[in-house]
Each structure stands twice: as structure tokens, then as C-alpha cells.
Amino acid sequence: MKRSDIFTIVGVIVFLSPFFIFDSVYEFYNDWNRSNPMSMAFLKFAILATFGEVLGLRIKTGKYSAPGFGLFPRAVIWGFLGMWIAAAMGVFRSGVPAFMDKFTVFNGMLVAMSGDFTAMKLLGAFFISVMMNTSFAPVFMTLHKITDTHITNNGGKIGCLLKPIPIRKTIISLNWDVQWNFVFKKTIPFFWIPAHTLTFILPTHMQVLFAALLGVALGVILSIAALKSKA
């Protein structure tokens, strides 16, 4: 373990400990989360998902920073993507159970999703996850890859946030073999669907936070995908 790893672990502990030590900090977080859900989604993903990408960089290069990585642009883009994810989660969380509730065999699913854990709630969470990950997720993953490529192509400079993304050129340059055969075909059914099933079982106010924490896992997944691309 390198010294930078120790500093990172200590930094994470220092950052998270106030939420467990001081009730006032945790209560402030909950109050702000209830009254400003979208701004909190921005902050959660800007911090946690970007941290996941930093961990991914550590896996790929052995370092937590690199020239052209673009930490600030990545955090800003992750913040806006996080707001999009939070909105999508709300739509699927409400819409899928309401639709499934129309079928006799799944009657009661909408009510079950707001109650304690039951087999019906587990089934509902699974259906929500499947629908979200087979429709929204591929579009989101592709857009994220496009923005990630745009940041890299601009040397990680803050100015890239103000430049239009050459979508056609960027899409053509993507490694679609890895995007399809690894990111879509493997991570969606074997990681994201089970992970988001667990997400939608959790209380509503914890779901976006847990999804943002999954962004840490996403950083590791993206680093593996990048290594596969080079291979």
C-alpha cells in the first residue's frame, strides 16, 4: 500500500465520520435532502462518482491524478448526470409499479413499494431495475462515455465544459466492441440489475445516495473497460 492510499483512506474516514458522530450533521443532511433533492443529487454524484473515477485511475495507472484527467470537469458533468439519474429513478420508481399493478398477479405492487420488505416489494424492485437498466442505462452509459472522451480530448481543461461536443466524431471513435460486449452485455445483467434491485428496496430518501455510492463501483468498472480497450 502506497502512502497516497493511506492518505486517501484517512480522507474518506474524516469526510464521512461527522455524519456518524454528530446527529446534527446527519439531521441537516436529511433535511436538505428532503427540501432540495436535485441539488443534493448533484453534490452526491459530483463527489462520489468522481471519487469512483479517481479510484479507477488508481487501478489503471497506480496514481490518483494524471495530466489531462480533468477532475473538476468530471465532477461538474457527474453532477448534472446525477440530477438526470435522480429524475429517471423517480420516473421508474413510480411508473413501473403503477403499470404492473394493472395485472392481477401483480396487484398491490404499488402499495408494497412504499411499505416494509416483502416478496412483492422485492419483485417490484427487480422490475424497476430491469426496466431502467434496459432502457435508460444504455443511453446514459453512452452519453457518459461521450462526455468522458470529450474531457480527455481537451486535456482535462475546464474550458471543455464550454465547448460543444463533436457528437458524430466522438461516437465513431468509441470502442463499441467493449461498450457492447463488456459494458452492456456483462455489467448490466450481472452487476447493475442486481445492484439497483437492492437500491429500490431501500427507503426512498436513501436510494439516490446509494446509487451515487454505486458510482464508486462504476469507476472501477470503467477502469476495467479501459484496460480491455487497450488490450
In tens, the pLDDT along 167-186 reads 999 999 999 998 999 889 99
| 64-73, Cβ contacts within 8 angstroms, sequence gap of 24 or more | 64/4, 64/8, 67/155, 67/156, 68/152, 68/155, 68/156, 69/156, 70/151, 70/152, 70/154, 70/155, 70/156, 70/157, 70/158, 70/160, 71/156, 72/158, 73/151, 73/156, 73/157, 73/158, 73/160, 73/161
Residue 132 pLDDT > 80? yes
Residue 223 pLDDT > 90? no
Model confidence at 228, pLDDT cuts 50, 70, 90, reads low
Residue 229 pLDDT > 70? no
Mean pLDDT of 155-165: 94
Between 8 and 170, name the one with better pLDDT.
170
pLDDT at site 66: 87
Model confidence at 118, pLDDT cuts 50, 70, 90, reads very high
Cα gap 192→199, rounded to integer Å:
10
Mean pLDDT of 204-216: 86
pLDDT at site 4: 84
User: Which of 40-44, 163-167, 216-220 shows the lowest mean pLDDT across its residues?
Assistant: 216-220
Mean pLDDT of 110-122: 93
pLDDT at site 222: 67
pLDDT at site 149: 93
Model confidence at 227, pLDDT cuts 50, 70, 90, reads low
pLDDT at site 24: 87
**Mean pLDDT over each residue of the chain, to the nearest integer:** 89
Residue 53 pLDDT > 90? no
Residue 105 pLDDT > 80? yes
Dihedral angle computed from the Cα positions of residues 154, 156, 161 and 163, in that order, rounded to the nearest 10 degrees: -10
Per cent of the chain over pLDDT 90 is: 56
pLDDT at site 225: 67
